[in-house]
Copies of this chain bind each other. A is one copy, B any other.
Amino acid sequence: MAALLNIVPFVSVDNMMKLVLNVGVERFLCELAEAIEEDFRRWDLFDKTPRIASHSRDGVIELMPTSDGTTYGFKYVTGHPKNTKDGRQTVTAFGVLADVGNGYPMLLTEMTILTALRTAATSALAARYLAPKDARTMAIIGNGAQAEFQALAFKALLGIDQLRLYDIDPAASAKCVRNLAGLGLTIRTCTSVAEAVEGAEIVTTVTADKQNATILTDNLVGSGVHINAVGGDCPGKTELHPDILLRSDIFVEYPPQTRIEGEIQQLPSDHPVTELWEVIAGRKPGRREGRQVTLFDSVGFAIEDFSALRYVRAKLATLPFFEDLDLLADPDEPRDLFGMLLRAGKPNASATG
C-alpha cells in the first residue's frame, strides 16, 4: 500500500462498490460481522466517547471517534430526512482510520455504503445471540435504503430465507423485491404491518421518519419473537410502542448513547438493559427461552464503524480498490514546511519535495 508519507489510500464510492461486489455482498457481510464480533469481545480496550453531534433545524452532522489504543477511527455521518426531496441521501458518511502512534491517517473511505453494510451486519450478529434458533422468516417494516442489506445479512448469518416486506409506500417494497430477485429469498409483499409480522420469528423495523411513530404496536408482537429495531436512532425518533419495550428483554450497544437515541428514550433512564458486547463476550445470557421477546435497540456505535474501517483496510492489502490521495504535507525536512511551499513554485519542482 502507500509507501510515500504524503499518501493516504482513498476508497471512493466507485471503488467501495467494486470491493463489495468483488468479495461478494454476503461474504462481505459475514466477514464484517466477524470483525465487529472480534471488537465487541475486546470492548474494554476501546475509548467510548458518545458521538459529537451538531444539530440543526433540518438534521444533524455527527463525528464518531474511537480508538483501541493502537488504531484510531472516526466517522463523519449526517442525518437529514428531508434530503430525499432534493434527490439527496438522508444519510451520507465517510470515515478515516489512523495510526495512534504517529497520528497519520492510513485510510480515507466513503462510508455511506459501508455504514449500510455494518448496520446490517451488526443487526444479524446480534440476532445470532438473540433470535429464536432456526428462525427462517423475517418481516421488514420500512423498505428504504437499509432493507436489502438487512435481508442479505440475515440470510448470510442466520439462514433466513423467507421475507415479508411492508412499507407505507408500495414502490419501496417493489424496489426491494426487484433488487433481491434471484438472491435466494422467498419474498412476500404485504399490505399491512399485521400481515407482515404474522408468523415471522424476527421483525426488523427500519423506517425513516424523523419523529416518534408507532410502527409496531404491542398486540402485533407474539411471544418468542426477536425485534431488530433499527430505525429509531435519534432523540425524538422512535418506532415501537412503549408496551413492547416493557415486555421485551432489551439489548443495546452502548447505554449512554442508546438511552438518548434509541427506543429506550421512551423508558425511565434506569430501565434494565443488557449490553450486546457482554452477551458476545459470554458474560451475560442472550436468548434464554422460547417464549422470551428479545429486542435489539440498535442505534449504531463508533466501534462498529471502527471494525468496518479496519476490515476494509485489511482487504486493500490484496485488492486494488483504492486510489492514492496526496493528503499529508511531507517536506524532506520536517521543520521545513515553508521551504517545501517555496520550492513548489520553482520550475521543475517535485510536487511534495
Tell me the A residues contacting B by CB distance below 8 Å. 5-6, 10, 12-14, 17-18, 20-21, 25, 47, 49, 52, 54, 56, 58-61, 63, 65, 67, 69, 72, 74, 76, 78-80, 83-84, 86-90, 92, 94, 96, 98, 100-105, 110, 112-113, 116, 143-149, 172, 175, 178-179, 325-331, 333-342, 344-345, 351-352
- How far, in angstroms, from A173 to B76 measured CA to CA in the complex? 40
Looking at the assembled complex, report how far the CB atom of A202 sits from the nearest CB atom of chain B, in whole angstroms: 19
Q: In the assembled complex, which residues on chain B have CB atoms less than 8 Å from the CB atom of A179?
A: 336, 338-339, 342
Which residue on B lies nearest to A72, using beta carbons? Answer: B61
Contacts A76-B96, A145-B334, A334-B145 known; A86 to B61 CB distance under 8 Å? no
- How far, in angstroms, from A63 to B81 measured CA to CA in the complex? 25
The quantity of this chain's copies bound in the complex is: 2
B58, A21: Cβ atoms under 8 Å?
no
A334, B175: Cβ atoms under 8 Å?
no
Looking at the assembled complex, report how far the CB atom of A82 sits from the nearest CB atom of chain B, in whole angstroms: 8
Q: Jot down 8 A-B pairs with beta carbons below 8 A, ordered by A.
A: A63-B74, A80-B101, A80-B103, A84-B334, A90-B334, A145-B336, A175-B333, A175-B335
- How far, in angstroms, from A119 to B103 measured CA to CA in the complex? 20
A340, B110: Cβ atoms under 8 Å?
no
B63, A65: Cβ atoms under 8 Å?
yes
Looking at the assembled complex, report how far the CB atom of A46 sits from the nearest CB atom of chain B, in whole angstroms: 11
B84, A335: Cβ atoms under 8 Å?
yes
- Counting from the closest, the 5 A-B pairs by CB-CB distance are A78-B103, A148-B338, A112-B329, A17-B344, A12-B326
Contacts A103-B61, A344-B18 known; A329 to B13 CB distance under 8 Å? yes
**Which residue of the partner chain, among B6, B72, B92, B336, contacts A328 with CB atoms under 8 Å?**
B92
Looking at the assembled complex, report how far the CB atom of A170 sits from the nearest CB atom of chain B, in whole angstroms: 13
